[in-house]
Amino acid sequence: MEIDPLIFRLSIFILSIFVGYYVVWSVTPSLHTPLMSVTNAISSVIIVGAIIAGLSGNSDSVFNTSSIFGFLAIALATINIFGGFLVTQRMLAMYKKKKKEKK
């Protein structure tokens, strides 16, 4: 008997929860704010669904109700992707070690 593909996706999901669990516990507490902003950015990979939706219009009309929601979702997700990664970059650039040499 064949296994439903859903089971495979469920397996990936459950294993990823465990990966997430161990990876996040090893994040140093001083980087918890960047952790939140970067998780924000990566969860916006939901843009892949938005792009599919946005390109779902046919050659007659680019816009139908479904694709309009897709376009809006693209805009929201890219705000997050750019905003999230860039603000994380900005924060991480500030974490510096004690300077050993004198200036």
Partner 1 sequence: MISSNLSAIFYLISGVLFILALRGLSSPETSRQGNLFGILGMIIAVTVTFLSIGNFSNGFIFVIIFILLGGSIGAFIAYRIPMTAMPELVAGFHSLVGLAAVFVAISAFLNPEAFNLGTTGNIKLGSLIEMSIGAAVGAVTFSGSIIAFLKLQGIMSGSPITFKGQHPLNAIILVSIIVLIYFLCSTQSSNLFWILLIISFLIGFLLIIPIGGADMPVVISMLNSYSGWAAAGIGFTLENTALIITGALVGSSGAILSYIMCKGMNRSFFNVILGGFGGATEDAGTISTKEQKPVKSGNADDAAFLMKNASSVIIVPGYGMAVAQAQHALREMVDTLKKNDIKVSYAIHPVAGRMPGHMNVLLAEANVPYDEVFELEEINNDFANADVAFVIGANDVTNPVAKTDPQSPIYGMPVLDVEKCKSVLFVKRSLSPGYAGIDNDLFYKENTLMLFADAKKMTEDITKNL
Positions in 43-72 near partner 1 (CB under 8 A)? 43-57, 59, 62, 64-67, 69-72
Does position 102 interact with partner 1 (CB under 8 A)? The reply is no
Read off the amino acid at residue 89.
Q
Does position 103 interact with partner 1 (CB under 8 A)? The reply is no
Q: Which of 1, 7, 99, 101: binder of partner 1 (CB under 8 A)? A: 99
Site for partner 1 in 9-28 (CB under 8 A): 9, 12-14, 16-17, 19-21, 23-28
Please choose, from the candidates 88, 75, 74, the residue with its C-alpha nearest in 3D space to the C-alpha of residue 40.
88
* Cβ-based nearer residue to partner 1, 1 or 97: 97
Size of the site for partner 1 (CB under 8 A): 83
